């Protein structure tokens, strides 16, 4: 018998082929946390020190234990990885989008992990000019994320933002496209959010707070200048600021936003040294977004309009008193966002849990709609950089239709398919079917659930393995997207389900509001009720059910694990937000103060009590739990690694079953995992192998 001792943690090895391991013991150091006269004792608070050698050793020991527990699945993992990679066309490009005289796109070369950003002048068939090869930048790095470059208005220079640590701190570099040389000057530790002014020498960008990571300051960097100039500081800790440029190129927008309030400032893109002016001062509960229409502004807003409406105002009268309603509020339709062109106004709407585009001719006011006919799909506006155009770029996909790019003639509404994602490996969409089910939740609400399966599956056998995933927070909808990776489950007999639970916006703003703050438990109940429906209708049974959620979706499955553990055989929790009370009481933890409108402020007792009643970490009990695979990243900027680490330790201490609790920490990455297009698949292959192994599927 071999023993591996690592900073006091013992792993026991039998043989290379028959490996029995005990999870690393997590020591208990009681730490008292008191609020509102209530005392909680956190035995694993010590894991919060990311620089502690003991903490790092513990995380490494957990990784060793997870690897040991899943070692017998390595061949399956390799097979799954090869499958997933094999479906991806390696030598591929995106559809070029027009900006000025150029067509910009990104391309991948065979065997490469990262994109090459490129353009062609005059037409999509022109000579290719490489702007940036991210593969060269990523060489020798464990992590490398490079955003699409910001192109200077004269198209002679790009600014590109690169994060090499996974914590979403981007350094900005400048590349002269005429000489091909990268300038020596750079901007360190930015948010990666930036826009060029029209003088071709000023870059407006955002910096985040180094501790809380809140996007709080806007600066102007003038090429060659000794120092950058601060344009704006967002003092309210519940707001974040971002920048963007109008389609007309007249303005750089400075958008300050919290969950339930917005304030825009307009910076003249032709005079970046001038002070920005406030569009409409912030008001509690007033959310709005602005698009420039050349002499007038279009304002998407919720002023006495729960699902939002569209108003218009003159450039000289931007205060709310000058807004005139153009598209009224509708109880059954949510306006998600708008896009303005010289001759057209385009609304992205959602009704009955499905997206559509609402088109207005600005000259005569005539309106039309662009719809799609599958039972469940995802449709969004694509890259539209030209203000003077009659062509609209949109993207479309469904559970059975790969990602597709359409150009739509706004005069005739004719759709032209520009490209559909090519899925290699013999994929035939007609072999799969998708449905939209409607489930009655415990309070009588009708809950939409999207499912996809291979047509050879017996839907009513009660023995099908089923993977159920959702998110349910911040108003983000869990749309029924296409996944070539998911085929590895579908082809092995899985049914995959996406319940569109409250906390998202699938059924309008009410759907979101009924799943936040003091109504948050509706999110968990919806997920559980959808699960029970699928069991009752014979799609599956608890012995074959696997739940997954990430980030706030990790909170979802963490809460569900406490509320209804008997329904699931396994749970995948990615970068899970599970220590809700402690995190929301600590303003020094990244992103906390801006979250009060979403979860509630636990400094107020009513919210404290409610959050405490569902917080996954605080509610771990002495009961049986499903098998759990918990993943995180040491450099995570959104959900700190110690939350899942503490949760795993507490689960192991209290649970009464012999099921697995595995914690896997990527020591090089953050919230989004690996940065390469193939490397990122290895974690998915491991997660799928975890489920398939529990299901007894070995191939």
Residues annotated as catalytic are: 551, 636, 671
Q: Evaluate whether 620 touches 650 at the Cβ level (below 8 Å).
A: yes
Alpha-carbon distance of 107 to 114, in angstroms, equals 9
Of 267, 264, 273, which Cα lies nearest the Cα of 241? 264
Q: Which element (helix H / strand E) includes 157?
A: strand 157-163
Structural tokens at position 167: 């914590």
Measuring CA to CA, which residue among 235, 291, 290 is closest to residue 262?
A: 290
DSSP for 485-538, written as a single string? TTHHHHTTT-EEEEE--BTB-TT-HHHHHTTSGGGTHHHHHHHHHHHHHHHHTT
How far apart CA 151 and CA 104 sit, in angstroms, is 10
What would the two tokens of residue 552 be?
């706030």
- Using an 8 Å Cβ cutoff, are 400 and 429 in contact? yes
Task: Return the SS3 of 440.
Answer: strand
The SS3 of residue 476 is strand
Strand partners of residue 296: 314
433 forms beta bridges with 453
What is the 3-class SS of 184-252, one letter each residue?
A: EEEEEEECCCEEECCCCCEEEEEEECCCCCCEEEEEEEECCCCCCEEEEECCCCCCEEEEEECCCCCEE
Contact, 466 vs 473, CB < 8 A? no
In angstroms, rounded to a whole number, what is the distance separating the alpha carbons of residues 308 and 245?
23
């Amino acid at each position: 018998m071999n023993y591996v001792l690592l900073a006091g943690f013992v792993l026991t090895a039998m043989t290379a082929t028959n490996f029995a391991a005990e999870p690393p013991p997590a020591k208990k150091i009681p730490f008292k946390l008191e609020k509102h006269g209530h005392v909680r004792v956190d035995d694993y608070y010590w894991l919060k020190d990311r620089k502690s050698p003991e903490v790092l050793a513990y995380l490494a020991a957990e990784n060793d234990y997870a690897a040991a527990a899943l070692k017998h699945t390595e061949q399956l993992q390799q097979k799954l990885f090869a499958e997933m990679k094999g479906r991806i066309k390696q030598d591929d490009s995106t559809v070029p989008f027009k900006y000025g005289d150029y067509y910009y796109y990104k391309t991948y070369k065979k065997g490469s992990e990262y994109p090459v950003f490129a353009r062609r002048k005059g037409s999509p068939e022109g000579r290719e000019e490489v702007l940036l090869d991210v593969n060269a930048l990523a060489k020798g790095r464990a992590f490398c994320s490079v955003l699409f470059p910001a192109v200077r208005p004269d198209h002679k220079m790009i600014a590109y933002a690169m994060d090499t640590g996974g914590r979403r701190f981007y350094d900005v570099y400048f590349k002269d496209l005429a000489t091909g040389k990268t300038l020596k000057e750079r901007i360190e530790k930015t948010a990666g959010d930036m826009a060029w002014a029209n003088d071709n020498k000023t870059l407006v960008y955002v910096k985040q707070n180094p501790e809380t990571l809140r996007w709080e300051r806007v600066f102007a960097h003038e090429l060659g200048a000794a120092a950058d100039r601060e344009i704006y500081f967002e003092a309210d800790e519940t707001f974040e600021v971002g920048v963007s440029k109008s389609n007309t190129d007249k303005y750089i927008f400075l958008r300050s936003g919290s969950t339930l309030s917005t304030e825009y400032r307009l910076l003249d893109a032709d005079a970046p040294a001038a002070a920005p002016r406030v569009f409409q001062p912030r008001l509690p509960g007033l959310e709005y977004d602005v698009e420039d229409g050349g002499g007038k502004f279009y304002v998407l807003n919720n002023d006495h309009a729960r699902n939002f409406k569209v108003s218009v105002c003159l450039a000289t009268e931007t205060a709310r008193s000058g807004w005139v309603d153009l598209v009224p509020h509708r109880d059954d339709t949510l306006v998600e966002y708008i896009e303005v062109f010289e001759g057209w106004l385009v609304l992205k709407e959602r009704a009955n849990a499905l997206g559509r585009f609402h088109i207005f001719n600005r000259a005569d006011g005539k309106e039309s709609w662009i719809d799609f006919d599958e039972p469940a799909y995802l449709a969004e506006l694509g890259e539209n950089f030209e203000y003077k155009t009659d062509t609209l770029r949109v993207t479309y996909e469904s559970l059975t239709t790969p990602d597709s790019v359409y150009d739509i003639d706004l005069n005739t509404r004719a759709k032209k398919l520009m490209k559909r994602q090519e899925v290699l490996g013999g994929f035939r969409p007609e072999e799969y079917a998708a449905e939209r089910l409607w489930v009655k939740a415990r309070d009588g609400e009708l809950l939409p659930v999207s499912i996809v399966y291979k047509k050879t599956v017996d839907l009513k056998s009660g023995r099908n393995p089923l993977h159920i995933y959702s998110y349910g927070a911040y108003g983000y909808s869990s749309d029924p997207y296409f996944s070539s990776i998911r085929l590895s489950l579908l082809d092995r007999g899985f049914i995959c389900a996406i319940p569109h639970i409250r906390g998202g916006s699938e059924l309008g703003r009410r759907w979101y509001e009924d799943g936040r703050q003091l109504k948050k438990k509706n999110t968990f109940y919806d997920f559980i009720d959808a699960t029970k429906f699928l069991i009752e209708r014979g799609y599956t049974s608890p012995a074959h059910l696997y739940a997954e959620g990430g980030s706030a979706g990790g909170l979802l499955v963490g809460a569900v694990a406490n509320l209804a553990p008997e329904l699931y055989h396994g749970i995948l929790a990615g970068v899970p937000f599970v220590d809700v009370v402690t995190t929301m009481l600590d303003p020094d933890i990244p992103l906390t103060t801006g979250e009060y409108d979403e979860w509630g402020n636990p400094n107020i007792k009513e919210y404290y009590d409610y959050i405490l009643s569902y917080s996954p970490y605080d509610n771990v009990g002495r009961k049986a739990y499903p098998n759990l695979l918990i993943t995180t990243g040491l450099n995570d900027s959104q959900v700190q690694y110690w939350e899942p680490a503490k949760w795993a330790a507490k689960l192991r201490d209290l649970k009464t079953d012999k099921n697995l609790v595995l914690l896997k920490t990527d020591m090089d990455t953050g919230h989004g995992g690996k940065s390469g297009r193939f490397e990122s698949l290895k974690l998915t292959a491991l997660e799928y192998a975890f489920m398939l192994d529990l299901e007894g599927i070995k191939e």
